[in-house]
Structure 1
């Protein structure tokens, strides 16, 4: 300990230079540090969802979930496999071991799904691997409402204008739309009219399918060029679909409108959204595991500001759910605690020691300690979250306490030395004064460290 203190005093210019370098590196590291509300406590996982409209819960489990579980069992780094089967939907979650390459595991899952998908029931859609999400994936909830546009018009606007713009932002993993109303032509068949015209439902379905199919038209060879033939659907409005021929009766065509009503509608909604006491859409922006919550949130809000001039009559409300607010408040609390700590140090030292230089020296311990902690946390791969910020605020008390004890004793010894008959060199006085309290300060700090040391040996979720 004596060697460390004496060397630092002899090479004080080098120590000051290293402190300046530490501050510069710490500030740059803090600006690029990943910020989040909570630490990433969820293990790496891959989730596969399969829609199976019309199948009951038991059928989804036996015909979809169980075959997928068997196919995905043994995936690289697999720790646990879980599944959930509900009406018309299967969800299979593969929980991987810590340290598993998530991208490699997703590739293996995709290969196995491509083999198993053709064996699923005809009612099941192809299995879909959900994008990798953070454990605190929900970044923003954006309300979309309008007094002039219907929900179907808002859905078109959200799917083709807003969502693509937000998905292009780095760090955004997915943008889910709740309350959407997808526009579709609905054929409402009347059973009485079917019986009256002796037409089966299969005949109507086949006629509608043939009329709405888009086929390749081939090409026509000309003397000097080849012209592509484009098939253009004649159905542009519900009235056009109602005019298609379903069958012939006594040489006359039987139109679709004779046996059914055709209108514009939307599928039965699974969920809905109420925005500002009225119908609307709710956009849920989810971030990637490595995304910086504060940075991605601000980029999303900037993109919304860029879109607003072109969305006349549409209200966008990104304040419904915004986790970045907690981070901003935590950072403000940390700044407030640092300012209060600095002010108290200045007041106490100036009041009792009557030396502004002493206060300045003690104050340097606060930013240097914070920057050093930030560098270590980022190097460790941790995120700067509300829990970390709370710990830094508490640790500031220990840092200030040690700095004040050391500086106060040095100032006191220097004053006594100046008043003595045979004063010693300032170097020797500072060294002796620092070593005088060094043991007490070190032991006090070691006791605090020993109190928290068992935390580092915790296993599982608590340890991470």
Structure 2
């Protein structure tokens, strides 16, 4: 069989040349199209369902949130496993699908089942899907360098400006904020005054919630003009909360400021983000969408950050905390360097042992073609160019070189022997 293939190749040199050129061209196309990453994605094909119910114990979360969700999500087709985790105020359900299931099909089926499971959960508790990323999707971390701003202002800048801008970058599934304080209005209630005015904490909560709203009225026509009546009641500052009426005492309205005080504060934190021991910082984690090219996404993020930085307050800049593109570039440079070293080594070895430049040229030509053909298979099987796959290609280069040297040397020896026999068998005049 091998002999027939060799004979066919020798008889159709033009066809072999055209096939080799086509393989090399298609390989270059696959290199451009194949996703590039530093770490192989070995995570499972999963959809995360996140539910928040703050203030509840893990046991309550398990009984009233996690268990109903897990029970109702088990009927989804092509599921491999379902795992549930309950903690203080939060529930995580990991729905793991078969590897051949499309990620967005799986998310759609989970969302359909959540619409049914919603009625089994406590009132006001709404589950949501996690980002369409993977376990290795954290490709870029950054933080704000703002020495003149406090942590609350930095977090507000991150949440309401930077985060929204970076989420528009193609290939980004989520930008998760970290560090700082999330600003909130805090009511510090005096229990003695509550008891004196006969007002409960539930009354205070309901009144404040009801007074933080805009209401619409009917249309009012006057002098051939139509006016829309609206009631503007959204809270804009602390004074608006302090003036909210809760009840009346002997005909006198009791306001929030009469039973306590209103202050600006930060939400409860379970940790901090410290940078090199120099103090707390505020920033974000960019999560890449499933199946995207990490290198291209990081480049697009950096370009977007340059645009966003123009709109930041004076003295505020971006600092990079983690950038996977440097590791990606090092992996690519390693393969490129290995390929160049192999080509030089092969050329020297063949020229020293055979003293035949055409034999060296044959081996040198087959190296880039073999590498390009390897990327064709990476693209066909959906494998990204990462440290593992690129290392495999680098190791395979050595095998290709060894085989090429052996085959060329063997062919060279047989041709030389055949020529010698022909010369010796020729009658001498």
Which residues of 2 match residues 10-409 of structure 1 at below 5 A?
10-122=11-123, 125-222=125-222, 224=224, 226-233=226-233, 235-275=235-275, 277-311=278-312, 312-318=314-320, 320-409=321-410
Measured in 2, the distance between the counterparts of 1:9 and 1:222 equals 96
Deviation at 1:396, TM superposition (A): 0.9
Shift of the alpha carbon at 1:371?
Answer: 0.7
Distance apart, 1:234 and its partner CA: 6.8
1:163 shift after superposition: 1.5
CA distance in 2, matches of 1:207, 1:57: 30
Contact 1:79 1:96 (C-alpha < 8 Å) held by counterparts: yes
Is the CA contact (8 Å cut-off) linking 1:140 and 1:322 kept in structure 2?
yes
- CA 1:423–1:309 in structure 2 vs 1: closer, same or farther (change >3 Å)? farther
CA gap 1:29/1:104 in 2 versus in 1, 3 angstroms = closer
Q: What CA RMSD, in Å, does the superposition of the two structures yield over aligned residues?
A: 2.4
Partner of residue 430, structure 1: none
- What is the TM-score when the length of structure 2 is the normalising length? 0.90
Contact residue 214 and residue 234 of structure 2 kept, 8 A: no
Number of equivalent positions: 422
Q: By how many angstroms is 1:387 displaced?
A: 0.8
Deviation at 1:10, TM superposition (A): 2.3
C-alpha contact (below 8 Å) 2:214/2:230 kept by paired residues: no
C-alpha separation in 2, matches of 1:401 and 1:232: 80
Runs of 4+ aligned structure 1 residues displaced above 4 Å come to 222-225, 412-421
Compared CA separation, residues 234 and 378, structure 1 to 2 (3 A): closer
Contact between 1:417 and 1:423, CA under 8 Å: does it hold in 2? no
Could you tell which deviates more after superposition, 48-57 or 107-116? Answer: 107-116
Residues 178 and 271 in structure 1, CA contact (< 8 A), matched pair in contact too: no
**How far has the Cα of 1:350 moved from its partner?**
2.2
Secondary structure of 2:423's aligned partner: coil
Find the aligned partners of 1:316 and 1:216 in 2 and give their Cα distance: 43
Which segments of 5 or more consecutive residues in structure 2 lack a partner in the other structure?
none
**TM-score, normalisation: structure 1:** 0.84
In structure 2, distance between residues paired with 1:71 and 1:409: 67
Kept after mapping to 2: 8 A contact 1:43/1:98: yes
Report the Cα distance in structure 2 between the residues aligned to 1:283 and 1:301, rounded to whole angstroms. Answer: 13
Report the 3-state secondary structure (helix = DSSP H, G, I; strand = E; otherwise coil) of the residue aligned with 1:136. Answer: coil
Q: Structure 1 unaligned runs (5+)?
A: 425-464
Report deviation, 1:409: 3.4
Q: Contact conserved, 1:151 with 1:180, CA < 8 A, in 2? A: yes
Deviation at 1:56, TM superposition (A): 1.1
